[in-house]
């Protein structure tokens, strides 16, 4: 669709709910959650249209979180963890060890930021992809409200923007450069 706009065009058509579309880094594909198999799974469709193809097919509910920066894999959330799977499907690899939610990448694609849940609630976490190390970036427990979503990393990787929901929600920013 041109940047000047144009008519809306339907990409999927199924009686089941299809939700949370995410563009691939190269703009050629869209990953989304679908209940078309009777369970929440991750699917991909070409941005130009066509037949969607399933990426995950597990007994647990799988929710799309983010594309890997290389566009060859997807990160999804299932069973309280982040998982990575090839865009063509196959065996998923566990990425995070504990409860998690959401995902956002550093500009260089080397760090995945996520907000914790359950015992990690209201904390920002990071996963270094080179060594698999998980570490807390900020502990925001005790404040009024709760963490809603990790929104985005600054283009130079120095800052992380996130939503803190005290009533309706506000956008916050913090320095994430580790010295």
Let me know how long the chain is.
179
Structure tokens belonging to residue 125? 């976490």
Task: Mean pLDDT check: name the lowest of 74-78, 99-103, 104-108, 112-116.
Answer: 99-103
Query: Could you give the CA distance from residue 105 to residue 125 in angstroms, rounded to a whole number?
Result: 12
Query: Could you give the CA distance from residue 66 to residue 73 in angstroms, rounded to a whole number?
Result: 9
Judged against a pLDDT cut of 70, whether residue 168 lies above it is answered with no
Please give the average per-residue pLDDT across 98-120, as a whole number: 74
Q: Domains (ranges, CATH) in the chain?
A: 18-144 (2.120.10.30)
Judged against a pLDDT cut of 60, whether residue 17 lies above it is answered with yes
Q: For the chain, what is the mean pLDDT?
A: 81
Please give the average per-residue pLDDT across 31-52, as a whole number: 93
């Amino acid at each position: 669709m041109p940047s000047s706009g144009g008519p809306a065009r339907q990409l999927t058509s199924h009686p089941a709910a299809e939700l949370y579309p995410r563009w691939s880094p190269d703009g050629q594909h869209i990953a989304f959650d679908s209940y078309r198999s009777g369970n929440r799974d991750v699917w991909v469709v070409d941005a130009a249209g066509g037949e969607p193809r399933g990426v995950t097919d597990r007994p647990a509910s799988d929710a799309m979180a983010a594309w890997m920066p290389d566009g060859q894999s997807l990160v999804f959330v299932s069973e309280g963890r982040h998982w990575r799977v090839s865009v063509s499907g196959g065996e998923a690899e566990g990425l995070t060890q504990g409860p998690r939610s959401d995902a956002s990448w550093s500009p260089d694609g080397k760090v995945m930021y996520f907000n914790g849940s359950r015992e990690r609630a209201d904390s920002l976490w990071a996963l270094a992809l080179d060594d698999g190390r998980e570490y807390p970036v900020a502990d925001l427990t005790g404040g009024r409200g709760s963490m809603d979503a990790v929104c985005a990393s600054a283009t130079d990787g120095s800052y992380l923007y996130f939503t803190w929901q005290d009533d309706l929600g506000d956008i916050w920013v913090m320095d994430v450069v580790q010295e």
